[in-house]
Chains A and B, each alone.
Chain A
């Protein structure tokens, strides 16, 4: 399937400063794409160019084949967005805000508005003015606003900014659902690695206006072949360590409180659990420590990122 969003060699200069340089990436239907970079890297600027708030200096951006530069109306119709903060009309109620933006698109009915309010759990507050809203409520209303006209591409600039953990999880599940069920392409920017790790399928790293790499979040194939770090919790770590040392003399074992840590393949891990249980050591848990995105991130950027 073709890309919904496609950036090709996009540049942005403001005065003499090169804010964005040669940025290219594609986002596909049903995919959540992360746009990761530290403060001031150029995430918001790139998003502004995608939605036409700022003109690019060079390059092209297309949405389902329609260029933002030359076919703006057709391109923008397919995008729903929040740029930077979810700023809505503070003196209008939640519902009126949606009525306002609904009127600006074709075929948004009263029912669509109510559905979207329910979807983001705000139907209880629909007659409340937005100035009385908490940041989390605004963020959710912003998302409802962005999804009002059933866009094919959803662009959210730091959507979990200001949300509590429950709110973050809620949005995460919600976005996954939207991507899967409505086959929407979603672009999310963030400066938090953990967030990208939890929500995205793929991500690009942007630093000082340059894309330094694009990759997938989970490399499940790694787990099948490679050796990984395992933590095993038992009722008697000292005895467990002795048992393992005698049976597998070439493994290095370190003991950390109730845990022993060792580098194993999947098969070896299985054998060790059998060994321990058959010798009456109670195994509480076996934890596989994935190398976190954060570590890969530091490797990739040689620690240059927060």
Chain B
């Protein structure tokens, strides 16, 4: 039964024109960033070893100065991490300049997951409220499927749709990026957290980066889903969720300067890459703390959505 419900939701999503507009925009987005990157790197000369070495050393002097003088925790940890990375590069002779390839292109491309975020929020916010707007909820709910089954089939569809867009983004980036920049994957990505350096293979890093970005998307679509189920209005849900998508992290960062309680904010926990790159928002936060927080938030969103959806009279 549950599977049929998901097939139904999928069918409804893919019989709407807006869905195809979203897919189209995403591919256009990939094309634009690819072409932009292509013209950026076309005439670029990679600096010689001497040049980048002296550049990094000079950078490190500046960072050291920053580390000593700043009172902003974030600037300080950034300075420490950058020094560690630069030292690692100097020591292992890894240039920060790299011939553009499909993986480095895709790394610069992760901002397109924000676009996916917007689209998935749009679907998540409308998948329940649209049934009420259209009046079809009356026919949907008078069947042997329980309200909760219907609700969770809808949520599953939102998540599947997000994954689908992610696959589209991934595939089109690989195809377009690969044909413009080649598939050379020999170079590595270097990150640092708390002064500790991590060296990644490019492919692995791209995968982790995309997945980690998707967590924000995932949580915010759950949030949008909850709001629209509670208020049966997609506009409120869309407005709040998209606002949070763009400023949530920044706002939490500001909060983090004031109080350690910021660790309980959703956005302090959505970016799991901080544990390898840059460090967490509040110093003593751990990877498992974030996972627990994410699970708690998700359960909260889904429970509230479920309670409201189950309880309320349908009077459309």
Contact = CB atoms under 8 A, between A and B. Distances in A.
A85 interface: yes
Contact of A54 (B17, B139, B143, B313): B313
B48 to A, nearest CB: 60
Interface size class of A (residues with CB under 8 A): 20 to 34
A81 interface: yes
Nearest to B316: A84
A87 B139 contact: yes
A238 to B, nearest CB: 61
A84 B143 contact: no
Contacts of A303: none
A55 interface: yes
Contacts, number: 77
Nearest to B150: A104
B8 A104 contact: yes
A99 B316 CA distance: 23
A55 B136 contact: no
A87 B138 contact: yes
Interface string B119-160: 000000000000000111011111111100000000000000
Interface in A91-112: 91-92, 96, 99-101, 103-106
A279 B15 CA distance: 76
Contact of A87 (B5, B136, B142): B136
Contact of B143 (A55, A76, A82, A92): A76
A101 B139 contact: yes
B5 A104 contact: yes
Interface in A67-124: 72-73, 76-77, 79, 81-85, 87-92, 96, 99-101, 103-106
B40 interface: no
A298 to B, nearest CB: 32
A83 B12 contact: no
B144 A91 contact: no
Interface in A138-164: 145
Interface string B1-40: 1001101100110011100000000000000000000000
A100 B15 CA distance: 12
A48 interface: yes
Contact of B139 (A48, A88, A106): A88
A7 interface: no
Nearest to B146: A73
B314 interface: yes
Given A77-B144, A104-B143, A104-B144, A96 B15 contact: yes
B315 interface: yes
B139 A145 contact: yes
A101 B5 CA distance: 10
A52 interface: yes
A53 B11 CA distance: 24
Listed residue (B11, B134, B139) with the most chain A CB atoms within 10 angstroms of its CB:
B139
Contact of A105 (B134, B144, B146, B315): B144
A84 B144 contact: no
Interface of A: 48, 51-55, 72-73, 76-77, 79, 81-85, 87-92, 96, 99-101, 103-106, 145
The 10 tightest CB contacts between A and B, nearest first, are: A87-B135, A53-B314, A103-B4, A104-B143, A54-B313, A51-B142, A83-B138, A77-B144, A73-B144, A100-B8
Interface of B: 1, 4-5, 7-8, 11-12, 15-17, 134-136, 138-146, 313-316
29 contacts: A48-B313, A48-B314, A52-B141, A53-B313, A54-B313, A72-B146, A73-B146, A79-B142, A81-B139, A83-B139, A84-B135, A87-B135, A87-B136, A87-B138, A87-B139, A88-B139, A89-B136, A91-B12, A91-B16, A92-B11, A96-B15, A100-B12, A101-B143, A104-B4, A104-B8, A104-B140, A104-B144, A104-B145, A106-B144
